[in-house]
Amino acid sequence: MSKDNTVGSLTEVQRSVIVGCLLGDGYMRKKTNAHLEINHAYSQKDYVDWKYRILKNLVRTPPVRRRGNGKRVAYRFTTRSLPPITEFYDEFYHHERKVIPPNLQISSLSLAVWFRDDGSKTYKTVYFNTQYFDPESQEILQKVLRNRWGIKSSLNKDKKYQRIRVATESAPTLVALIKPFIIPQFTYKLPLNPVSTDSDVTSEEIDAQLELYHTPTPRWPSGVKI
- Asked if 107 contacts 215 with a C-beta cutoff of 8 angstroms, the reply is yes
Architecture of domain 106-111+118-183: Roll (3.10)
Residue pair 128/118 in contact by the 8 Å Cβ criterion? yes
Q: Looking at the predicted structure, is the pLDDT value of residue 194 above 50?
A: no
* pLDDT at 211 > cutoff 80: no
Q: What is the mean pLDDT of the chain?
A: 83
pLDDT of residue 123: 80
Answer yes or no: same fold for 10-98 and 106-111+118-183: yes
Q: Name beta bridge partners: 161.
A: 158
* pLDDT for residue 222: 38
Residue 212: its pLDDT value, please?
44
Give the pLDDT of residue 89. 97
Q: Which pLDDT value is given to residue 144?
A: 97
- For the chain, the structural domain boundaries read 10-98, 106-111+118-183
Lowest mean pLDDT among 11-20, 49-58, 214-223: 214-223
Measured between alpha carbons, how far is 148 from 143 in angstroms, rounded to an integer? 8
CA-based nearest residue to 194, from 88, 120, 93, 90? 120
Which CATH number does 10-98 carry? 3.10.28.10
pLDDT of residue 206: 55
Percentage of the chain surpassing pLDDT 70? 79
What CA–CA distances, in Å, run from 43 to 32, 65, 89, 106?
Answer: 33, 11, 28, 27
C-alpha neighbours within 13 Å on the C-beta side of residue 119: 24
Give residue 114's pLDDT: 96
Distance CA 217, CA 106 (A): 10
